[in-house]
């Protein structure tokens, strides 16, 4: 590959878009082998198209060979730019379709983990209503940590997210949906499992290993974790549940998520009247966003979801 081109890239053509889509698929598949079945073409054809794209861009996008597939620094930047390009193209298509007042296009949603067990099924009901109104709408859901959901909405990869609201980023709008209660739990086999609530003093709790979240929580909630002897961390609620079920830790979980293990006798809440906190679940969208009929229809369904709980 020669040095980078000095002249700016010419106007993008359909060929460039097609090659960029091949590149995106290769990156997301982690290499040529898996991409073969996804793209429906052979490895040699993929390799040729990648070479064509590198020639057209004047950049080396990836290393490939016996050591495997790896993106270059230029490749990583082109991949991120391609994601923004395809998002802009999809937004354009959605907006044009909206002129016909028909729900078509995509809705890309980011959710924090383990909301499906919430008794308030506003997200589920809103998705059902959207699909009924727009059968051709393509819904894509990704599960991420709250901070990643907010970043995805900010950079346009996601149209909307639903997360526990900790703070408010300046470029985002938050629509409160409902609150979620978290209680302190231990699992069967833990020394605290058989103690009565009257015996569960803070001093007693501090004698045992606890789990703290590595995701953001409000300052007043963080103070509760600082009172415990936190020797383990987890990036999501499922990770906390895994550690709790070892019988060696105490930790906070949403009550709706823990209910399945409580019902089977595998977990118990530790004096929930004292040891609990509440978080507000909010829908998050980007400020100043352009009209997007699919998104607005989903948000309207969320706002009117109380009757469907």
CATH classification at residue 63? 1.10.10.10
Question: Which residue from 217, 201, 251 is spatially nearest to 231, judged by alpha carbons?
Answer: 251
**Within-domain flag for 130:** yes
Among 55-64, 99-108, 184-193, 299-308, whose mean pLDDT is lowest?
299-308
**Within-domain flag for 265:** yes
Q: Does 211 have pLDDT greater than 60?
A: yes
184 shares its domain with 259: yes
Among 62-66, 117-121, 220-224, whose mean pLDDT is lowest?
117-121
Q: How far apart are the first and last CA of the chain?
A: 59
Give me the percent of the chain exceeding a pLDDT of 90. 44
Give how many domains the chain has, as a whole number: 3
What is the pLDDT at residue 119? 65
71 shares its domain with 206: no
Angle of helix 14-29 relative to helix 73-98, nearest 10 degrees, comes to 120
Residue with the larger pLDDT of the pair 218 and 6: 218
117 shares its domain with 60: no
198 shares its domain with 262: yes
Q: What are the CA-CA distances from residue 277 to residues 66, 70, 81, 181, 193 (Å)?
A: 53, 44, 40, 6, 20
183 shares its domain with 276: yes
Q: Does 76 have pLDDT greater than 70?
A: yes
Q: Do 87 and 157 meet the contact criterion of CB atoms below 8 Å apart? A: yes
What is the pLDDT at residue 306? 44
What is the pLDDT at residue 273? 95
- The CATH number of whichever domain residue 263 belongs to comes to 3.40.190.290
What backbone phi and psi angles, to 5 degrees, belong to 232?
A: -140, 155
47 shares its domain with 65: yes
What is the β-pairing status of strands 106-111 and 138-143?
A: parallel
Q: Which of 51, 86, 121 is the last residue of a domain?
A: 86
72 shares its domain with 45: yes
Most confident of 49-58, 181-190, 211-220, 295-304: 181-190
**Within-domain flag for 2:** no
Give the rounded distance of the alpha carbon of 100 from its chain centre: 31
Ranges of beta strands (E only) in 28-171 are 62-63, 70-71, 106-111, 138-143, 160-165
Give tens-digit pLDDT for 234-245.
988 899 999 999
Average pLDDT for the chain = 87
Give tens-digit pLDDT for 134-148.
888 899 998 888 888
Among 14-28, 56-70, 215-229, whose mean pLDDT is lowest?
56-70
Q: Which domain range does residue 256 map to?
A: 179-280
């Amino acid at each position: 590959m020669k040095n980078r081109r000095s002249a700016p890239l010419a106007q993008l053509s359909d060929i460039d878009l097609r090659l960029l889509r091949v590149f995106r698929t290769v990156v997301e598949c982690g290499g040529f082998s898996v991409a073969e079945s996804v793209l429906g073409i052979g490895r040699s054809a993929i390799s040729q198209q990648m070479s064509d794209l590198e020639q057209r861009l004047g950049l080396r996008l990836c290393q490939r060979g016996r050591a495997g597939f790896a993106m270059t620094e230029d490749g990583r930047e082109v991949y991120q730019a391609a994601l923004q390009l395809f998002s802009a193209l999809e937004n354009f298509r959605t907006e044009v379709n909206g002129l016909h007042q028909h729900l078509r296009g995509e809705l890309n949603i980011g959710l924090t983990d383990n909301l499906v067990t919430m008794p308030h099924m506003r997200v589920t009901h809103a998705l059902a209503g959207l699909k009924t109104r727009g059968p051709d709408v393509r819904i894509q859901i990704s599960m991420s940590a709250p901070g990643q959901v907010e970043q995805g909405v900010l950079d346009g990869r996601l149209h909307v997210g639903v997360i526990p609201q900790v703070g408010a980023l300046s470029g985002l709008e938050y629509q409160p949906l409902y609150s979620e209660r978290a209680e302190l739990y231990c699992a069967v086999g833990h020394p605290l499992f058989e103690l009565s609530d009257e015996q569960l003093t803070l001093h007693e709790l501090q004698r045992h290993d606890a789990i703290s979240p590595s995701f953001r929580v409000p300052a007043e909630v963080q103070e509760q974790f600082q009172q415990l002897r936190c020797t383990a961390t987890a990036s999501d609620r499922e990770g906390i549940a895994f550690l709790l079920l070892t019988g060696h830790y105490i930790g906070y979980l949403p009550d709706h998520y823990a209910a399945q293990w409580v019902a089977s006798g595998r977990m118990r809440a530790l004096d929930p009247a004292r040891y609990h906190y509440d978080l507000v679940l909010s829908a998050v969208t980007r400020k100043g966003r352009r009209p997007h009929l699919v998104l607005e229809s989903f948000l309207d369904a969320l706002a009117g979801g109380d009757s469907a709980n």
